[in-house]
A and B are shown apart, each in its own frame.
Chain A
Amino acid sequence: MTNNNLTDLPVAVTSVIGVSQYLQIATFDVENSYAYNTLAATENANSLFWDDAVAQELTSGRILPPTTLSLWMRPHYWEPGAEGEQVALQVHFDLKKIFELPEAVMTDNTIIFYEPVRAGDRISNSQVLKSVSGPKTTKLGSGRFWVIDVEFKNQHGALVGIESYTGFGYRRDQEGAAS
Chain B
Amino acid sequence: MTAEARLLLGQVAVGQSLPELAIDVTPTTVVLGALASRDWRPMHHDYKFATERNGVADIFLNTPNQAAWFERYVTDWAGPRARLGRMKFRMKTSVFPGHRMVFTAIVTAVSTDSAGCGWVSIDVALSVGAAEADPSSYVVASTCEVRLALPDSSTDNPWSRSGEQWVP
Interface 9-residue window, one of A7-15, A16-24, A49-57, A124-132 = A49-57
| A109: B residues at CB distance < 8 A | 63, 67, 87-91
Inter-chain contact B72/A37, CB cutoff 8 Å: no
**Tally of A-B Cβ pairs under 8 angstroms:** 126
Q: Which residues of A contact B (CB under 8 A)?
A: 34, 37-38, 40-48, 51, 53-54, 57-59, 65-68, 70-71, 74, 77, 103, 105-116, 140, 165, 172, 178
Inter-chain contact A46/B29, CB cutoff 8 Å: no
Apart from A40-B32, A41-B32, what are 15 other A-B pairs with CB-CB below 8 Å? A38-B65, A38-B68, A40-B36, A41-B29, A43-B23, A44-B76, A67-B68, A67-B70, A74-B38, A106-B63, A108-B89, A109-B67, A112-B85, A112-B86, A114-B168
Q: Which residues of chain B in 43-94 are interfacial with respect to chain A, using CB atoms and an 8 Å cutoff?
A: 53-55, 63-65, 67-72, 75-76, 80-81, 83-91
> Nearest-CB distance from B166 to chain A (Å)?
7
- The answer to whether B115 has its CB under 8 Å from any CB of chain A is no
Known: A109-B63, A109-B88. A74 touches B80 (CB 8 A): no
Known: A41-B33, A42-B72, A67-B70. A77 touches B3 (CB 8 A): no
CA distance A124 to B32 in the complex (A): 25
